Chain A
């Protein structure tokens, strides 16, 4: 997995690519915790180039969501491939996360 971190209209954008699994999710967790500690108001996670996610990746995002909410921030996901949306839906997390179609949708709300 690769993480590119950029800014867009005041939001931090995490562009992820590749597989998010037990090996790579600690890297994502570390980055999320760093920005949660900085109390960033909006953190957007770009899933367009994510090919795979397992339970450790999902757990990392749930932890990130909780961390952001703890200081009144928001964490949104966008561009999730259909196959991965299905995993979120099965896990009943599609209603928990704010899932948007595109970066613009995620920023607009």
Chain B
């Protein structure tokens, strides 16, 4: 009795019944690093600091690291743009072919379903570099169709080589997204006399797009970072150029760290916003409740 009256007097939040408590927000995960523009400034400062340290220790007659970096920066940026171009085009090709392959994987016709399953598994489980070599050395450098010679430069071969694994991964993303929809969607469409194609185009795929977006962007991020593999097969992208810059500067060892840091920085600046955006889209599209 006394206890009861006391609980009446006390403010309502002092109840010991968990269900009466307001929903507590989860504490911010301390291990989840969240970068702000200030971290970018910090990184840039680190770069400048290490550069000036290098400057202080080199002999006066050679160019300072800062001078060297400024001299080559336009060329390196050009090389990086080439990486982005390769990544965008491979993603476009890989997505277009991969979507068709993914839809073929849910085909009702067994031969189509099985062969597309095989192609997907084959390219999804092959190392990217091996596929790149495959495209590089087995495709001709030019095609002659009806007397017209079409050149087929290395970077286009790199795009083909990189779009193969992208294709296979997109195929799996599409298949997974379609299968993740509740079967009620199919049944409801069927009961409304939709054909299979109509169901797919009008009911299923529109719902899949938002489910596919985060993994698709993730794949793009990974692909962008994989474009440096093309340096091994001689495409003049940022990594190849970094190697050539080092050679042009007489193999100066003090340039190694600043030069490769700069390349890292470029990729980070490009890929990190994509990663953040993916996280945002994931939380936006997550099923609530």
* A and B are interacting partners: no
Chain A residues within CB distance 8 Å of chain B: none
